[in-house]
Amino acid sequence: MQTDEQLIRRTFELADKGRGFTSPNPVVGTVIVKNGEIIAEGWHKKFGCDHAERMALKKAGDAAEGATLYVNLEPCDFEGKTPPCTEAIIEAGISKVVASMEDPNPKVSGEGLKILQKAGIEVVSGVLEEEAQKLNRGFVSLMQKGRPWITLKMALTTDGFIGDATGKSQWITSDRSLKFVRRERKKHDGVMVGLGTVLKDDPSLLPDYRDGYIPYRIVMDESLMIPYKAKLVNGDYVDRTIIVTGEAGKEKRWNEFQKRHASIVKVDREKMGWIDLEDAFQTLGEEGLSSVYCEGGGRLAASLVDAGLVDELQIFIAPKILGEGIKSFDGFKKSLDQAIQLQWDEVKQFGPDVLLKGRLV
R_g of the chain, CA atoms, integer Å: 23
Pairwise CA distance, residues 357 & 354, whole Å: 10
Q: 236 CB contacts (<8 Å, ≥6 apart)?
A: none
State the catalytic residues. 53
- DSSP assignment of 303-343: HHHHTT--SEEEEEEES---SS-EESS-S----GGGPPPEE
Pairwise CA distance, residues 104 & 115, whole Å: 16
Pairwise CA distance, residues 67 & 80, whole Å: 26
Q: Are 108 and 78 in contact (CB under 8 A)?
A: yes
The sign one gets for the Cα dihedral 151, 157, 160, 165 is negative
Q: Are 70 and 31 in contact (CB under 8 A)?
A: yes
- 8-state DSSP, 294: E
Helix, strand or coil for residue 101?
coil
Helix, strand or coil for residue 50?
coil
Q: Are 64 and 88 in contact (CB under 8 A)?
A: no
The sign one gets for the Cα dihedral 346, 198, 302, 309 is negative
* H helix intervals, 38-188: 52-60, 85-92, 111-118, 129-135, 137-145, 175-185
- List beta partners, residue 98: 70, 124
